[in-house]
Amino acid sequence: MQNAKTHIKVNDRVEVIAGGDKGRVGKVIRIDRNRGRAVVEKINMIKRHTKPNALNQQGGIIDKEAPVAISNLMLICPKCAKTSRVARKALEDGTRVRICKKCGESVEGKA
């Protein structure tokens, strides 16, 4: 997947639609477009065994989020609060925004 476009962005609220965490909701922390994966807050938790280092003096077993395939995530529209597919629309000034397919409103954050 060479730098594919995605329907989600960082800080979006998403719902997992497939896999072990199906139905859970979280906020996107990080996106890896080359691998087609996203890290979502408190979703797909794994245990990481770490040695002591400068950041973690004690070491031990740490819980952290593992990446989830972007295809297994669906955006939650901030206006209608439902999971929805996303369309892209060009505005009069030339900027492109994401549009909720259910309510027709823009899903872009206050930027």
pLDDT at site 21: 97
Q: Model confidence over 8-30: pLDDT tens digits?
A: 999 999 999 999 999 999 999 99
Query: 93: number of CA atoms within 13 Å, CB side?
Result: 2
pLDDT at site 56: 86
pLDDT at site 110: 61
Main-chain phi, psi angles of 70, to 5 degrees: -60, -30
pLDDT at site 111: 47
Architecture of domain 1-76: Roll (2.30)
The H or E element spanning position 53 is none
How do the domains of the chain map onto residue ranges?
Answer: 1-76, 79-111
pLDDT at site 3: 78
Query: Which residues make beta-bridge pairs with 102?
Result: none
pTM: 0.88
Distances 53 to 45, 58, 59, 61, 69 between C-alpha atoms, Å: 22, 8, 7, 13, 30
Angle at CA of residue 110, ends 5 and 96, nearest 5°? 40
Which parts of the chain register pLDDT below 50? 111
Query: 71: number of CA atoms within 13 Å, CB side?
Result: 4
Query: Which residues make beta-bridge pairs with 10?
Result: none
